[in-house]
Amino acid sequence: MKTEKEKMLAGELYDPLDQQLVEDRLRTRLLIKELNDSREDQTEERTRVLQQLIPHAGDGLWLQPPFYCDYGYNIQAGEKVFFNFNCVVLDVTQVTIGSRTLFGPNVQIYTATHPMNHQERASGVEFAKPISIGEDVWVGGSVVICPGVTIGSRSVIGAGSVVTKDIPADVFAAGNPCKVIRQLDQQEDEQV
């Protein structure tokens, strides 16, 4: 029989009040508090906390506090990934982020979701869908990335967008819901 954590990671309905998951979230909240309370000149302290909070990250990960997540261990980040102020990652299941991807302030990444059926939802169970973000992606400020979405490498997501469906590589996409606006030329250097 699967544990609630195994169900959670598999994208199945699970009980978020399971003791192991409650303890995991508490550990994460304490690490987040350390990170968010640290001073700008405490780079060694921040690095130590980040290594515990997000153990599956490449070199050069930088989270500009404040930052929030559910577990941390479900975030897999490549090298030189940057999160600006006040980002939230609900990493109930896998969030994969490619190298050199940049997140503007207030970006929210949600793998967590709830049943559409009100009786199931009322029972307290929930589930999650993984999110994958390619390499060299730029996600503008206040973007919301919904459960199950994939964003292709080198794409740019315009500020304030709500990404509800997959976005291919090498495009500029924006809006609510987020839609492809145009292909990107590899030589472009344009402000979005």
The chain-wide mean pLDDT, for the chain, equals 95
Sign, CA dihedral 16-20-25-26, equals positive
Looking at the domain assignment, is residue 100 inside a domain?
yes
The domain that holds 161 is classified in CATH as 2.160.10.10
Q: Which of 87, 71, 91 is nearest to 20 (CA)?
A: 71
Looking at the domain assignment, is residue 163 inside a domain?
yes
pLDDT greater than 70 at residue 187: no
Looking at the domain assignment, is residue 164 inside a domain?
yes
Confidence of residue 191 (pLDDT cuts 50, 70, 90): low
User: In this predicted model, what pLDDT tens digit does every residue of 31-49 receive, in sequence order?
Assistant: 999 999 999 999 999 999 9
Residue 185: per-residue pLDDT: 84
Decide: residue 177, CB within 10 A, 0-12 exposed, 13-18 middle, 19+ buried: exposed
- Number of independent structural domains in the chain: 1
Q: Regarding beta strands 162-163 and 179-183, do their DSSP bridges make them parallel or antiparallel, or are they unpaired?
A: unpaired
CA distances from 192 to 130, 164, 181 (A): 27, 20, 12
Looking at the domain assignment, is residue 36 inside a domain?
yes
Residues 127-166: b if buried by 16+ CB within 10 A, e if exposed: bbbbbbbbbbbbbbbebbbbbbbbbbbbbbbbebbbbeee
Looking at the domain assignment, is residue 192 inside a domain?
no
pLDDT greater than 80 at residue 190: no
Q: Which residues are catalytic?
A: 114
Looking at the domain assignment, is residue 21 inside a domain?
yes
pLDDT greater than 70 at residue 23: yes
Looking at the domain assignment, is residue 76 inside a domain?
yes
pLDDT greater than 90 at residue 9: yes
Is the pTM higher than 0.85?
Answer: yes
Full domain range(s) for residue 114:
4-180
Looking at the domain assignment, is residue 191 inside a domain?
no
The residue-averaged pLDDT of 70-99 equals: 98
Confidence of residue 64 (pLDDT cuts 50, 70, 90): very high
